[in-house]
Amino acid sequence: MKKLILIFGILLSTVLNAQTKVKGVVSSDGITFENVEVTLDKTQKTKTDSDGKYQFEKVVLGNHEITVVFEAFQKQKQKIVVKDTLDIIFNFELIAEKEKSNGLDEVVITGTLKPVSRLESAVPVEVFKPSFFKKNPTANIFEALQNVNGVRPQLNCNVCNTGDIHINGLEGPYTLVLIDGMPIVSGLSTVYGLSGIPNSLLERIEVVKGPASSLYGSEAVGGLINIITKNPKNAPLFSVDGFSTSWGEANLDIGAKFNLGKTASVLTGVNYFNYSNPIDNNKDNFTDVTLQDRISVFQKWNLNRKSNKLLSLAGRYFYEDRWGGEMQWEKKYRGGNEVYGESIYTKRWELLGAYELPVKEKMLFSFSYTDHEQNSVYGDIPYLAQQKIGFGQLTWDKKINNHDFLLGTAMRYHYYNDNTTATIQTDENWIPSLFVQDEIHLAKKHNLLLGARYDYNSNHGSIFTPRLAYKWKISDNDIFRFNTGTGFRIVNLFTEEHAALTGSRDVLVLEDLKPERSYNANVNFLKKFFTDNGGFIGWESTAWYTHFTNSIIPDYDTNPNQIIYKNLDGYAVTKGLSTNIDMVFQNGLKFILGATYMDVAKTENGVTTRQMLTEKFTGTWSISYRIPKFFLDIDYTGNVYGPMRLPTLGITDPRKEFSPTWSIQNIQFTYNKLKNIEIYLGIKNLLNWTPNKGNPFIIARANDPFDKNVQISDGTAISIYGQPVPKGQVVATADNPYALTFDPGYVYGPNQGMRSFIGLRYNLK
């Protein structure tokens, strides 16, 4: 009996004194931190080592609480239970204090042209950081935007794969793309230069949906995308990010930072992309994806001034050689009519800078200049163009009592010339502008923003665009916003409408095109939820309505052999509802979900029709899960698009008039155990979806791209079906039973199927 009591006492003592280790890693967006304070039960304290690791020895069985505190990041707490002597691994993902859970308190500039907390901005601004785009790695920002709710990169040609960016269903020319607040991505670059903006120079992207012409002028009618480049002071010393796909695509980003003593910080970025593997999976003898060889070199200088005022200068050079066409096409066929190919050479220079004036008042001068050279051929049709855009802007930021003023003046120089008959003489003009904005703090929770802009265009005269915004901060977790205003857009047809250059449709411009005008109103509501265990849920919804007059919408319907451009004799309307939900949980699970429903229509002569290439609904998602034990991150991303009306070649065209509901889905696995290194791999387009499914063909008359065997009626022709064919119309023959001409413009999604990818990232802090 005494032995049993002794054994029981030993076992009881062992249980009561059982101990284990609790350890883990503290990081944020894949970057580990040294000297982070970690506390166990408010009594034991330690700090992370150079690899971001912490460890507590001899932790007894029972309930415990770990607290992590690090400057500029939110304080985190986590309860754990020690049940046995097995080591417990618990990693912490820090959330920046300035972000207030998923970027809701990020400092933004796009909505009001001045730095302001996103939560305090009267204009709704969505913010996306590089970590968001790394969940589905792409070679450029154009492709990366496919996972932003309400934003859709649209391909406009099956052959050369040029594209633009749609916001809330509106065509690409309605979207203004800025770099560091400068409107240098416009005209030719909205079609030919978007794919050349690499992810390597990205600090964050700010998106505003809805007209912003009162601050940014023409083109900001549907919305704007502001690409904020990296600050050299915050960039890693050296970084490399490279990946390759099973289709043969290769992308490499290299970045380096160095200091010139105390004079300046300099950031250099180089991006190279190559795809030279012709693939024809749909068997139409045309490349499924355009062959591309491009390089982009970017450098940004931040000069240190004694006054600590801003002085930065950045430049970029971009060159691209791309072609698509018949599989047997070679350079020797460029511009000829033997083998069809679309070959595009793009050269582009960009310069931009910002200088804060050495005066007591807060005054900032920003400037940019771009030179874009386009050397393109579409079959045997050359398109040679040059565009130069210069821009200078001076703003004065002044607070007086409860008024926060912003006054500014801008001057834009525009030069454009090409070899088409539409450009009889060089288009060259200067556009001076004045704008003013006053944000009035009516009460603690109520702000009213009033603004107006005046532009003078030598071709179109005076243009006035007012705006009004109201913000009600119901509580720290509830915000209501109302915005209304006007917009305008001056159309540069051949720099924006790729369809006007490719294919066999004749371009018909019926009149001198007047500027488009728009009237917009939207309401936005944001709600934040915090759970007891440290989780976060953010919900944001927006409803909008925009009315357009003088709309210029390509008419593909009146004559299947023509694209007709004119100001709409009526009006166009876009309206809809958009919702975003962000969820972050302490167990490593994150959700970013978005959905948009929209109705985009035009009314002419009392008849309302749905506009071409506008979907009824879209959805996006990003689901991420971290498995600390295996140092593994899993990202499942995707989007879904509702049916959209497509540009067919008349009633005899067998291709579907509406696209199906379609989805692109991707999965990625990232291994991050190695210091400063991430290895990632995955699969893109898991469903292997391509737009040719369900259609007899995508490119009309791919077997006869120069229309050599197409018969045009002289008024007496009879089709193979025994019907007379009106003069000027295509005759149905045995070789051409559907009476079609060559047309690569039937496109609404990427024609690239499933492919795997593998890549590596290295960051030296």
pLDDT digits (tens, 9 = 90+) for 147-156: 999 999 888 8
Q: Is the pLDDT of residue 10 over 50?
A: no
Q: Using the 8-state DSSP alphabet, how is residue 505 labeled?
A: P
Overall average pLDDT of the 614-629 stretch: 93
Q: Angle at Cα 641 formed by Cα 597 and Cα 585, nearest 5°?
A: 80
In CATH, what number does 229-703+746-764 get?
Answer: 2.40.170.20
Which of 693, 707, 694 minimizes the C-alpha distance to 744? 707
**What was the pLDDT predicted at 5?**
52
Compute the distance between CA of residue 49 and CA of residue 25 in angstroms, rounded to an integer.
9
Q: Is the pLDDT of residue 127 over 60?
A: yes
Task: Work out the burial of residue 308: count CB atoms within 10 Å of its CB; fewer than 13 is exposed, 13-18 middle, 19 or more buried.
Answer: exposed
Q: Is the pLDDT of residue 98 over 50?
A: no
Q: How many helices (H) and strands (E) does the chain have?
A: 6, 43
Q: Is the pLDDT of residue 498 over 60?
A: no
pLDDT digits (tens, 9 = 90+) for 554-564: 777 677 667 77
pLDDT digits (tens, 9 = 90+) for 159-190: 988 888 888 888 777 788 888 888 877 667 76
Which of 147, 142, 166 minimizes the C-alpha distance to 222? 166
Per domain, the residue ranges of the chain are: 2-94, 229-703+746-764
**What was the pLDDT predicted at 599?**
93
Overall average pLDDT of the 226-250 stretch: 90
What's this model's pTM, rounded to 2 decimal places? 0.84
Overall average pLDDT of the 102-114 stretch: 61
pLDDT digits (tens, 9 = 90+) for 328-351: 999 999 999 999 999 999 999 999
Task: Work out the burial of residue 212: count CB atoms within 10 Å of its CB; fewer than 13 is exposed, 13-18 middle, 19 or more buried.
Answer: buried
**What was the pLDDT predicted at 499?**
53
Q: How confident is the model at residue 76 (pLDDT cuts 50, 70, 90)?
A: confident
Which two tokens mark 469? 């915004």
Q: Is the pLDDT of residue 229 over 90?
A: no
**What was the pLDDT predicted at 105?**
55
Which residues, 6 or more positions from 314, have their beta carbon under 8 angstroms from its beta carbon? 180, 229, 298, 299, 300, 301, 351, 352, 353
Compute the distance between CA of residue 96 and CA of residue 717 in angstroms, rounded to an integer.
73
**What was the pLDDT predicted at 394?**
96
| Residue-averaged pLDDT of the chain | 85
Task: Work out the burial of residue 668: count CB atoms within 10 Å of its CB; fewer than 13 is exposed, 13-18 middle, 19 or more buried.
Answer: buried
Which of 409, 367, 408, 374 minimizes the C-alpha distance to 389? 367
- Selected from 3.30.470.10, 1.10.3720.10, 3.30.565.10, 2.60.40.10, the CATH number assigned to the domain covering 2-94 reads 2.60.40.10
Higher-pLDDT residue of 584, 755: 755
pLDDT digits (tens, 9 = 90+) for 390-448: 999 999 999 999 999 999 999 999 898 888 766 778 888 888 999 999 999 999 899 99
Compute the distance between CA of residue 763 and CA of residue 113 in angstroms, rounded to an integer.
32
**What was the pLDDT predicted at 52?**
80
Q: Report which secondary-structure segment, H or E, holds 414.
A: strand 403-418
Compute the distance between CA of residue 642 and CA of residue 661 in angstroms, rounded to an integer.
5
Q: How confident is the model at residue 565 (pLDDT cuts 50, 70, 90)?
A: confident
Write the secondary structure of 417-481 as one string of H (helix), E (strand) and C (coil): EECCCCCCCCEEEEEEEEEEEEEEEEECCEEEEEEEEEEEECCCEEEEEEEEEEEEEEECCEEEE
pLDDT digits (tens, 9 = 90+) for 442-496: 998 999 999 998 988 877 788 888 889 999 999 988 999 999 988 877 766 655 5
